Amino acid sequence: MNWQEVCSNPNLKNLPFKIELNEYGQIVMSPMKVLHSLLQGEIERLLLHYAPGGKVFPECAIFTPKGTKVADVVWVSDARLQIIKHEAECSVAPEICIEVLSDSNTEREMMAKKKLYFGQGAQEFWLCDQQGAMRFFNADNELAHSQMLPDFPVKIDI
């Protein structure tokens, strides 16, 4: 199965789960709790404040060699948005890809996604844990703060 088939399938349109594809075209579903959505929303709100240019949006499908992955929140420049805005899944990752950890995620899984996003052109990967602590990465290292948005908080308060 490919991402366009997932998007077109009427049986998959209203599932209360985050859906991704693995490298074999199999659907992977992860349930989300309210806290996950709250953190996601607060990150979006803060991004709108700290990054007035570009666009911020949730649940961004990104093509990778290991299947379609869906970043919880992204920031994309206006220039890159022109490339991806009409695609079913992003052929190029937004500049900032953010994941919010849930009970079903592991550190290993998140680091694998980080590598995949960088392979598709992301410039930074951010990870938010369930207590709101933020971690920032470029392609080579973990960072003390975002290089693209250095004033972005290292802790999200809910």
Say what the pLDDT of residue 22 is: 76
Q: Give the span between the Cα atoms of 52 and 32, in whole angstroms.
A: 28
Structure tokens at 111: 């680091």
Distances 2 to 25, 39, 65, 74, 96 between C-alpha atoms, Å: 6, 29, 12, 22, 24
What DSSP element (H or E) covers 16? none
Q: Rounded to two decimals, what is the model's pTM?
A: 0.87
Task: Please write the tens of the pLDDT for every residue from 47-95.
Answer: 999 998 899 999 999 999 999 999 999 999 999 999 999 999 999 999 9
Task: Please write the tens of the pLDDT for every residue from 80-133.
Answer: 999 999 999 999 999 999 999 988 888 899 999 999 999 999 999 999 999 999
Domains and CATH numbers, the chain: 32-143 (3.90.1570.10)
Pairing mode of beta strands 124-128, 55-64: unpaired
- DSSP letters, 113-141, are HHHHHHHTT-SEEEEE-TT-BEEEE-SS-
Task: Please write the tens of the pLDDT for every residue from 15-49.
Answer: 655 666 778 777 776 666 788 889 999 999 999 99
